[in-house]
Amino acid sequence: MKNDDDADRKPTHDLSVGEMARRSGVTVSALHFYETKGLIRSARTSGNQRRYSRDMLRRVSVIKAAQRLGIPLSEIEGALRALPEARTPTARDWERLAKRWKDDLDDRIQRMVLLRDRLTGCIGCGCLSMKLCPLVNPADSMADCGAGPQLLEPGAEGKPADGGGRRKTRRAIV
Ligand code: FES
């Protein structure tokens, strides 16, 4: 059983790569990858083994959380590099980063909702392969709107779907 002294005593030693992997829930190879990308850094022992300072744990957690949100690694890298003296993000930094990514996340959420709602119907890709497509995308009229699955783009509700007049395509799909 831990006494109060144990509870107050914070672990201070640097972490080996195995300990870091265990504590962060990230594989050793991912840690090496992050390091080659400059996202985290380690020191070397006299025996050339990696040692991570404990603040790198927070850095890895931020990277992991951002990746879970779908933020590309290049963007995470840029955001971490922009921190003063490349420091490990504090709670305040994280708040700032989250704000910066909010618009991007909102857009991503909107696209995912559209994807979920429209996955089984015509997506306006030009394939005209589904029974509904000639009704929703007659003669591939959606091609005038641009390349790719036009009905999965946010704001697609007002796009022309009949080659001439404008109508609400969402209504046409259901
Ligand atoms: S699903 Fe491709 S054009 Fe409709």
Q: Where are the domains of the chain?
A: 4-102, 133-173
Question: Average pLDDT in the 114-122 region?
Answer: 80
Q: What pLDDT, on the 0 to 100 scale, is given for residue 161?
A: 47
Q: Which of 125, 131, 173 should be mutated for ligand 1, with most atoms under 8 A from CB? A: 125
For the stretch 29-46, pLDDT in tens is 999 999 999 899 999 999
For the stretch 72-98, pLDDT in tens is 888 888 888 877 666 777 788 878 877
> In angstroms, what is the span from residue 113 Cα to ligand 1's centroid?
18
160 Cβ contact partners less than 8 Å away, ≥ 6 residues apart: 141, 142, 144, 145, 166, 167
Residue 159's pLDDT band, with cuts at 50, 70 and 90, is: low
For the stretch 50-59, pLDDT in tens is 999 988 888 8
Task: Establish whether residue 126 lines the binding site of ligand 1, counting it when its CB lies within 6 angstroms of any ligand atom.
Answer: yes
pTM value > 0.75: no
Residue 164's pLDDT band, with cuts at 50, 70 and 90, is: very low
CATH of segment(s) 4-102: 1.10.1660.10
State the pairing for strand pair 50-51/43-44: antiparallel
Residue 165's pLDDT band, with cuts at 50, 70 and 90, is: very low
Average pLDDT over all residues of the chain: 79
Terminal alpha carbon distance of the chain: 62
Given the CA of residue 151, which atom of ligand 1 is nearest to it? 4
Q: What pLDDT, on the 0 to 100 scale, is given for residue 172?
A: 42
Distances (CA, A) of 97 to 62, 63, 80, 126, 134: 10, 11, 9, 38, 45
Residue 65's pLDDT band, with cuts at 50, 70 and 90, is: confident
